Amino acid sequence: MTAMRSYLDHNATSPLRPEARAAMIAALDAGGNASSVHREGQLARSVVETARAQVAALVGASADMVTFTSGGTEANALALKGAGVERLVISAIEHPSVIETARAAGAEVHVAPVTAEGVLDLDRLDRVLARDKRRCLVSVMMANNETGIVQPLAQVVELARQHQALVHTDAVQGAGKTPIAWPILGVDMMSLSGHKLGAAQGVGALVARDGLTLTPLIEGGGQEKKRRAGTENICGIAGFGAAADAARVRDEAARLTVLRDRFEAGLVDLAPDAVIFGAGLERLANTSCFAVPGLTAQLLVIALDLDGVAVSSGSACSSGKVGRSHVLQAMGVAQDLAAGAIRVSLGWSTREVDIERALAALKTVIERSARRAA
């Protein structure tokens, strides 16, 4: 990022951490194929296994539970398609990589609704699970990528166990932003993505409990314990491991909470009628999703960008997406308000000056809009 721009879209992708960059350059310089038995191959294998341990440590899992993938989308697909279940139950606010994969998985799909606050409706989930005893996988994200609202995973796991269902969580947004302890969480599978932590795009992981059988999406060689064939992306994996280690050690939730709260207080001062989705609920420390009545998301995204502030209108799953959020729709948010929803997401590189620049840019837009309306 340049000195005159503020990047506040970490939930879409987080800038490359210096630790990840250094690890990737070292891996590129080392060369070698991790499946080769010679010295260069052994060095490459060492890079992969070091990173595997680093990623596992971030979520409190053991290294042998980690399967590297090309990203969170592939990890979600491996979990949903590879589990071999007859039923899939997903929440209405899942990332498109879960929603679309579930539709294409060949299993019966049930969508569990959320409350108006954006939290999974546990009573409805219980009823959905009770009505059919076929082998089932429940997929509920750890925290929503648009609103930051944390989902009740402990209760989801408890309900799923009562109905002998497996549980997968898309933890792409939660990992590195909120503490994760695999043994306490109790899920069967968890998806992760490197570039949300400050690694490069193109690498992720599926963490799966011991003894779980998964049918691979990609067959060929015996890499990743035959769960994911193909020569490992050693450079990307090295960066992923380094970024995971940096996120675990630094644990910036407290710092980011202060910055997020400063932003939201400033926003309300500028626009007392602003709506902050999930305010008062447990949210990721780095995420603020809001709307100012009368201002469209397209206007805000473009105006802030011109003033040197990068934000988004929601999930970055589609190129150039500026439109109504399926997450807010599932929450029952009025269409006019949802059309103005903006997501500000902070990260390791965010500083106080970025928050002040964003508020100054918002002030300009809000005042200009008020003059036009007068």
- Residue 343 in this model has a pLDDT that exceeds 50: yes
d(CA 137, CA 132): 12
SS3 track for 153-218: HHHHHHHHHHCCCEEEEECCCCECCECCCHHHHCCCEEEEEHHHCCCCCCCEEEEECCCCCCCCCC
Predicted TM-score (pTM) of the model is 0.94
| DSSP-derived pairing of the beta strands 309-310 and 6-7 | parallel
Query: Which regions of the chain carry the CATH code 3.90.1150.10?
Result: 6-15+251-373
pLDDT tens digits, residue range 135-164? 999 999 999 999 999 999 999 999 999 999
Going by C-alpha positions, the residue among 72, 57, 29, 101 that lies closest to residue 202 is 72
| E-strand stretches of 209-312 | 275-277, 287-291, 309-310
The tokens of 184 are what?
């306490």
What is the per-residue pLDDT for 187? 98
pLDDT band at 323 (very low <50, low <70, confident <90, very high): low
Whether residue 331 contacts residue 279, with contact meaning beta carbons closer than 8 Å, is answered with no
Question: Using one digit for the tens of pLDDT, what is the confidence trace for 230-243?
Answer: 999 999 999 999 99
pLDDT of 221 reads 87
Query: In the chain, which residues fall in CATH 3.40.640.10?
Result: 18-249
| 171 touches 191 (CB < 8 A) | yes
Angstrom CA distances, 231 to 19, 25, 34, 195, stand at 24, 18, 8, 20
- Binned at pLDDT 50, 70 and 90, residue 371 comes out as confident
Q: Is 231 helix (H, G, I), strand (E, B) or coil?
A: coil
Q: Answer yes or no: 136 catalytic.
A: no
Q: Tens of pLDDT along 71-110?
A: 999 999 999 999 999 999 999 999 999 999 999 999 999 9
Segment 315-322 shows an average pLDDT of: 49
Q: Give the pLDDT confidence score for residue 319 in this predicted structure.
A: 41
C-beta of residue 98 within 8 angstroms of C-beta of residue 206: no
Distances (CA, A) of 171 to 92, 126, 165, 199, 341: 16, 22, 19, 16, 23
pLDDT in tens, 181-229: 999 999 999 999 999 999 999 999 999 999 999 999 999 988 999 999 9
- Check 136, 235, 289, 317 and give the catalytic one: 317
The rounded mean pLDDT for the chain is 94
> In the prediction, which pLDDT does 314 show?
64
Q: How confident is the model at residue 370 (pLDDT cuts 50, 70, 90)?
A: confident
pLDDT for res 4: 85
As given in the structure block, the two tokens for residue 170 are 């898309």
Domain 6-15+251-373 part of CATH 3.90.1150.10: yes
Query: Of all residues in the chain, what percent carry a pLDDT higher than 70?
Result: 96
Question: In CATH, what is the architecture of 18-249?
Answer: 3-Layer(aba) Sandwich (3.40)
What pLDDT, on the 0 to 100 scale, is given for residue 322?
A: 52
